[in-house]
Amino acid sequence: MSNYLEFEKPLADIEGKAEELRALARANEEMDVEEEAAALDKKAADMLAELYKSLTPWRKCQVARHPDRPHCKDYIEALFTEFTPLAGDRNFADDHAIMGGLARLGDTPVMVIGHEKGHDTKSRIERNFGMARPEGYRKAIRLMDLADRFGLPIITLVDTPGAYPGKGAEERGQSEAIARSTEKCLNVKVPLVSVIIGEGGSGGAVGIATGNKVLMLEHSIYSVISPEGCASILWKDAEKMREAAEALRLTAQDLHKLGVCDEIIAEPLGGAHRDRAGTIERVGKALQEQLRVLGKKSPEELRKERRQKYLDMGKKGL
């Protein structure tokens, strides 16, 4: 583990000590530290369970944004075969913040589209930290349309801090692109399943997250505004992000109660970043099951039910 979150610091200390002891023992054959180290391991495991038992909303935001969390590309590589990336909006550019293409999930050919944040400095810059420009949404529209015409289910993997707030993005119609992408989500007659794998940041998420079913990983978030942004507007103090995160009800658990999230996918103990393969496997299973059920519905039903789902939204509070 290289990246500990701020609230995981006590855990980092204990795990660090255990590591140190073992390193000492390796250097000095006469030392027997295993008993002591094992005790530290046990303490660390207990602490991890305790920390993740009831994460506060702000801590969930941190976990959802964890740099070691599996990202869109990791899911695509591990879950799908024959992934064939498709690029470009046929208009201006190819936006690397949104990736997508044809692939097989099991035997089923599907269209997979998602935000990709990148995993190191170079790829993060190339992916613009997962913040898409209009071209990204227009590529998504094109791919959804393609899937619709050939009857392929669409899977979207959502992980973005939000759409990119840039000069060119505005000039090329960021809002129009998002609006049309949402419209396309609501128009297709094939199953559309969205998974919020990390951050569902506002309109930039909605544009590809308007599915028949919206699944969320246990520690993912989905919100109208970032807690920092909300705090600076309503509290006039960006440091009040903890309070804002509470008030916004952005956790998978609250969104499930509100009917926005249809299914919560449990994460391995300590979060997706502690067991990436395990997390990806769970997402794969949930997707297979959703597609199996939705696959039985007619094209008309799929579209009608999807629209009704959004019309009904907000009928129940917390």
Partner 1 sequence: MNWITNYVRPRINSLFSRREVPENLWTKCPECGTMLFHRELADNLQVCTNCDHHLPISPRERFDALFDGGIYVEVKVPEVLADPLNFRDQKKYPDRMKAAVKKTGEKDAMLVGEGEMAGTDIVAAAQNFAFMGGSMGMYVGNAIIAAAERAVEKRCPLILFSAAGGARMQEGILSLMQMPRTTVAVQMLKEAGLPYIVVLTHPTTGGVTASYAMLGDIQIAEPNALIGFAGTRVIEQTIREKLPEGFQRSEYLLDHGMLDRVTDRRKLRDELVAICRMLMKQPPAVAGTLPTPEEPPAAEAGEPEAPEAAADPAPQAAPAEAETAAGSEPDAGSKAKP
**Which parts of this chain interact with partner 1 (CB under 8 A)?**
163-167, 169-176, 178-180, 182-183, 185-187, 202-203, 206-207, 210, 222-225, 230, 233-235, 243-244, 247-250, 255, 258, 260, 307, 310-311, 313-318
Smallest distance, partner 1 to C-beta of residue 229, A: 8
Q: Which two tokens stand for residue 36?
A: 């002591």
CA 13 to chain CA centroid, Å, is 29
Angle (deg, nearest 10), helices 57-64 and 241-248: 100
Closer CB to partner 1, 77 or 176, in the complex: 176
Smallest distance, partner 1 to C-beta of residue 257, A: 10
Smallest distance, partner 1 to C-beta of residue 124, A: 15
Smallest distance, partner 1 to C-beta of residue 145, A: 15
* Pairing mode of beta strands 263-265, 213-217: parallel
Q: Under a CB-based contact definition with an 8 Å cutoff, are residues 151 and 190 in contact?
A: yes
Closer CB to partner 1, 46 or 312, in the complex: 312
* Pairing mode of beta strands 221-223, 213-217: unpaired
Q: Can you tell me the distance from the alpha carbon of 1 to that of 41, in angstroms, rounded to the nearest whole number? A: 14
Closer CB to partner 1, 42 or 304, in the complex: 304
| Residue 56 identity (one-letter amino acid) | T
Would you give the end-to-end CA distance of the chain in angstroms?
37
Q: Under a CB-based contact definition with an 8 Å cutoff, are residues 133 and 95 in contact?
A: yes
Burial of residue 261, with CB atoms counted within 10 A of its CB: 0-12 exposed, 13-18 middle, 19 or more buried = buried
Closer CB to partner 1, 230 or 302, in the complex: 230
Closer CB to partner 1, 180 or 282, in the complex: 180
Closer CB to partner 1, 206 or 286, in the complex: 206
Smallest distance, partner 1 to C-beta of residue 304, A: 11
Closer CB to partner 1, 15 or 199, in the complex: 199
Smallest distance, partner 1 to C-beta of residue 314, A: 5
Smallest distance, partner 1 to C-beta of residue 135, A: 14
Q: Provide the strand spans (E) within 75-233.
A: 80-85, 98-105, 108-115, 154-160, 192-201, 213-217, 221-223
| Residue 94 identity (one-letter amino acid) | D
Burial of residue 232, with CB atoms counted within 10 A of its CB: 0-12 exposed, 13-18 middle, 19 or more buried = middle
Closer CB to partner 1, 150 or 310, in the complex: 310
